[in-house]
Amino acid sequence: MIIENTQEMIELGKRIGENLKPQMIITLLGDLGAGKTTLTKGIAQGMGITDVVNSPTFTIMKIYQGKYPLYHLDVYRITNPDTDFELEEYIDSDGVSVIEWAENIKKLLPDEVLEIKIFHLDDNMRKVIINANDEKYIKIINEACK
């Protein structure tokens, strides 16, 4: 799908966030400035979170409370996921994990995730590709992309 501006990215995130359940994992892939954090802001809004959401690049993770906890991770700086991070405790918890730069910890993730790739087309436009191989995530895609 083509996203033409920041507001459309937030609206897509809201539609995704409204359909999430505990223990779901969203992986966000894309270059710097592609819109991963902007999409996460919308996801948070869809989950009923009113806090300001910003990138956890230097802290690795921020936790927000809405209808479920949102674990917003930016693993850009993770070089060795075996020793640097205990992701499993968040994946198996009562919240939703949104992971920016998820390719850096791919071996720690289950096969069943909602994968979102964001590509720059120009200053404002983005191409968003959403993939899933599990029915619960496919339902989210169908709801969010109506």
pTM of the model as a whole: 0.90
| Residue 83 pLDDT greater than 90, yes or no | no
Give the rounded distance of the alpha carbon of 125 from its chain centre: 19
- State the average pLDDT for the chain: 88
| Per-position b or e across 12-47, b if 16+ CB within 10 A of its CB | bbbbbbbbbeebbbbbbbbeeebbbbbbbbbbbbbb
pLDDT above 70 coverage of the chain, percent: 88
Question: The domain 2-144 belongs to what CATH superfamily?
Answer: P-loop containing nucleotide triphosphate hydrolases (3.40.50.300)
First to last CA, the chain: 11
3-57 tens-digit pLDDT:
999 999 999 999 999 999 999 999 999 988 899 999 999 999 999 999 988 877 6
Residue 79 has a pLDDT of 66
